[in-house]
Structure 1
Amino acid sequence: MKPSRLLPPLFALLKFVSGYVLASRAYELHRDEYLYLDYGQQLAWGYLELPPLTALQSWLTLALGGSWFWVKFWPGLWGSLTVLLLGRLVLKLGGKGWAVALASIGYMVAAYARLNFLFQPNSFEVLAFTAGSYALVRHFQTGRPRYLYALGVVLGLSLLNKYTTFFYGAAVLAGLLLTPQRRLLASRHLWGAAGLVLLLWLPNLLWQVAHGVPFRHHMALLHDTQLVHVSVADFWQDQLLMCLPVVWVWVPGLLALLFYGPFRPYRAVGWLYVAGLLLLTVLHGKSYYSLGYYPVLLSFGALWLEQWLEKRRRRNVLRPALLALPVLIMLPLLPFLFTLYPPAAMRMLGPQYRGLGVLRWEDGVDHVLPQDFADMLGWQELADKVWQAYQALPAATRAHTLIKCDNYGQAGAINYYNRHRRMPRAHSFNGSYLFWFPVRPVQPFHYLLLVEDDQPSGVAAHSRSLRQVGEVLNPFARERGTAIFVVAAPDSVLMSRIYREHRVALSRWEGAAP
Structure 2
Amino acid sequence: MEKGTSTEPLPPAPAPPALPPLAKRPIVLIMVAVFALQAAVSARYGFHRDELYFVVAGRHLAWGYVDQPPLTPLLARASGELFGDDPQDLRIFAALACAGTVLLVALIAREFGSGRAGQLLAAACAATSGIVLGIGHLWSTATLDIVAWLLIAWFVLRLLRTGDGRWWLAVGTAVGFAMLNKYLVGYLVVALLVSLFAVGPREVLRSRWLVGGAAIAIGLSAPGLWWQATHGWPQFTVAGGISTDDGIKNRIMFVPLQIAYLSPLFVPIWVAGARRLLRAPQIRWAHSIVPGYAILCVLVIASGGKSYYALPLLLVLVAAGCEPTVRWAASRPGRRVPVGSMLLVATVTSAVISLPLLPAGRVNAVIGINPEQGEQIGWPELADAAAVAWGRIPPDQRGRAVLFAGNYGEAGALDRYGPARGLPRPYSGHMSFADWGPPPDRADGPVVVVREGEVTARFRDFVDCRLVTRVDNGKGVDNEEQHAVVELCAGTTKPWSRIWPDLRHFY
**What TM-score, normalized by structure 2, do the two folds share?**
0.86
Aligned counterparts of 2:163 and 2:245: Cα–Cα separation in 1:
45
* Conserved? CA contact 2:257–2:307, under 8 Å: yes
Which one of 186, 195, 210 corresponds to residue 175 of structure 1?
195
Structure 1 residues 37-48: aligned runs within 5 Å: 37-48=55-66
Instruction: Report which stretch shifted further, 2-11 or 101-110.
Output: 2-11
SS state of the match for residue 144, structure 1?
coil
Mapped to 2, the partners of 1:406 and 1:445 lie a distance apart of 19
1:96-130 Cα offsets, whole Å, 9 max, x none, are 33212211111122222122212211121111111
CA 1:456 to 1:136, structure 2 compared with 1: closer, same or farther past 3 Å? closer
Mean CA deviation greater in 384-393 or 68-77: 384-393
1:143-186 per-residue CA deviation (whole Å, 9 max, x = no partner) reads 33442211111111111111211111111102211333211222
The Cα shift of 1:341 comes to: 0.7
Assess, with a 3 A threshold, how the Cα gap between structure 1 residues 89 and 421 changes in structure 2: closer, same or farther.
Answer: same
- Cross-structure match for 1:237: 256
SS of 2:398 mapped into structure 1: coil
Measure how far apart 1:219 and its partner are: 2.1
Report the equivalent of 1:341: 358
Q: Residue 231 of structure 1 contacts residue 284 of structure 1 at CA under 8 Å; is this kept in 2? A: yes
- Count, aligned residues: 480
| Partners of 1:106 and 1:5 in 2: CA distance | 16
User: Which stretch has the larger CA shift, 331-340 or 190-199?
Assistant: 331-340
SS of the equivalent of 1:451 reads strand
Contact 1:106 1:245 in 2 (8 A): no
One-letter amino acid of the structure 2 residue matched with residue 164 of structure 1: L
* Structure 2 residue runs without a partner (length 5+): 1-19
* Structure 1 segment 23-422 matched on structure 2, within 5 A: 25=44, 27-63=45-81, 64-111=83-130, 112-232=132-252, 234-243=253-262, 244-309=264-329, 312-314=331-333, 317-318=336-337, 321-332=338-349, 334-347=351-364, 349=365, 359=368, 370-387=370-387, 389-390=389-390, 393=393, 397-418=397-418
Give the SS at the match of 2:259.
helix
Structure 1 residue 33: deviation in Å?
A: 1.9
> Could you say what the CA RMSD is over the residues aligned between the two structures, in angstroms?
3.0
User: CA 1:328–1:424 in structure 2 vs 1: closer, same or farther (change >3 Å)?
Assistant: same
Cα distance change, pair 126–315 in 1 and its aligned pair in 2 (3 A) = farther
Q: What do the CA deviations read for 1:17-42 (whole angstroms, capped 9, x no partner)?
A: 112334672x2222222222221111
Q: Which amino acid aligns with 2:371?
A: Q
Matched, 1:19 2:38: yes
- Give 1:198 deviation, angstroms: 0.7
Q: Is the 8 A contact 1:250 1:297 kept in 2?
A: yes
Change (3 A) 1:477 1:23: farther
Mapped partners of 1:258, 1:277: distance in 2: 18
Secondary structure of 2:278's aligned partner: helix
Amino acid across the alignment from 1:134: W
Shift of 1:316: 9.7
Aligned-partner Cα distance in 1 for 2:482–2:21: 55
Quickly say closer, same or farther: Cα 1:371–1:176, change in 2 above 3 A: same
Task: Give the aligned partner of residue 503 of structure 1.
Answer: 501
Q: Once the two structures are superposed, what CA deviation does each residue of 1:341-365 show, in whole Å capped at 9, x if it has no partner?
A: 1243344x56xxxxxxx616xxxxx
Change (3 A) 1:329 1:500: same
Q: Partner of 1:355 in structure 2?
A: none
* Unaligned 5+ runs, structure 1: 351-357, 361-369, 510-514
Residue 379 of structure 1 deviates from its aligned partner by 0.8
Deviations 1:205-225 (A, max 9, x none): 111111111122112211211
1:47: how far off?
Answer: 1.1
* Bigger Cα displacement from structure 2, 179-188 vs 128-137: 179-188
Which amino acid is the alignment partner of residue 344 of structure 1? G
- Is the Cα–Cα contact under 8 Å of residues 85 and 134 in structure 1 kept in the other structure? yes
Aligned pair partner of 2:28 in 1, 4, 9: 9
> Hey, what's the Cα distance between the residues in 2 that align with 1:399 and 1:447?
10
Q: Map 1:440-479; keep pairs closer than 5 Å.
A: 440-441=440-441, 443-453=442-452, 468-474=467-473, 475-478=476-479, 479=481
TM-score (norm 1): 0.85
191 and 462 in structure 1: CA distance in 2 versus 1, 3 angstrom threshold:
closer
Q: What is the percentage of aligned positions where both structures have the same residue?
A: 24
Q: Which amino acid aligns with 1:227?
A: G
Distance 1:462 1:256 in 2: 62
Relative to 1, partners in 2 of residues 1:371 and 1:455: Cα closer, same or farther, differing over 3 Å?
Answer: closer
After TM superposition, the structure 1 stretch with the greater mean CA deviation from structure 2, 241-250 or 50-59, is 241-250
Post-superposition shift, 1:423?
4.7
Given that 2:52 and 2:412 are in contact with CA atoms closer than 8 Å, whether structure 1 keeps it comes out as yes
1:83 touches 1:104 (CA, 8 Å); kept in 2?
yes
Deviates more, 1:86-95 or 1:392-401: 392-401
